[in-house]
Amino acid sequence: MKILIVDDEKDITSSIKIGLEKNGFDVDAYTDPQKALDDFKPNVYDLSLIDVKMPKMNGFELYREIKKKEDNAKICFMTAFELYHDELKKVLPTIKVRCFIRKPISLKDMVSHIRSELNLS
């Protein structure tokens, strides 16, 4: 299973990458959302983990751009902030994401969340 991580905090990105690789995932990690978008290839990733709050391009903007390249891309937002699905729907009425990971999260819980999202549990 190949996972894309995009989070502007290098220590978080690095920790998640190392932890997921130790759990058998193949991981590409980026701290720059524009670079992640430039390198994004359709049908490569089983799941993309995208931080919501990033400078220059936030996670929702990156989501929109990834969906232009791969309409059926599976996306999971990561955030330390309270987000409510109903409020998100008002901002992005066409969004199809159900997956949110609240930071901080333990590696065990993150792996469980990813396995569940990918129907591996």
Which two structure tokens, joined as six digits, stand for 65? 């751009």
pLDDT at 79: 83
Average pLDDT, whole number, for the chain? 89
Reported as a pLDDT band with limits 50, 70 and 90, residue 29 is very high
| Mean pLDDT, rounded, for 85-105 | 71
Q: What is the pLDDT of residues 94-103, one digit of tens each?
A: 666 678 888 8
> How large is the average pLDDT for residues 33-40?
98
Give the integer Cα–Cα distance in Å for 26 and 10.
18
pLDDT value at position 83?
57
- Look at residue 37 in the predicted model and tell me its pLDDT: 98
Task: Give CA–CA dist 11/25, Å, rounded.
Answer: 19
E strand or H helix at 17? helix 10-22
List, for residues 48-81, the tens digit of each pLDDT value: 999 988 999 989 899 999 999 999 999 999 987 6
Q: Which residues of 63-89 are buried (b: 16+ CB within 10 A; e: fewer)?
A: bebbbeebeebbbbbbeeeeeeeeebe
Mean predicted confidence (pLDDT) in 86-111: 77
Instruction: Return the percent helix, strand and coil in the chain, to nearest 5.
Output: 40, 20, 40
Q: Nearest 5°: CA angle at 56, between 39 and 64? A: 60
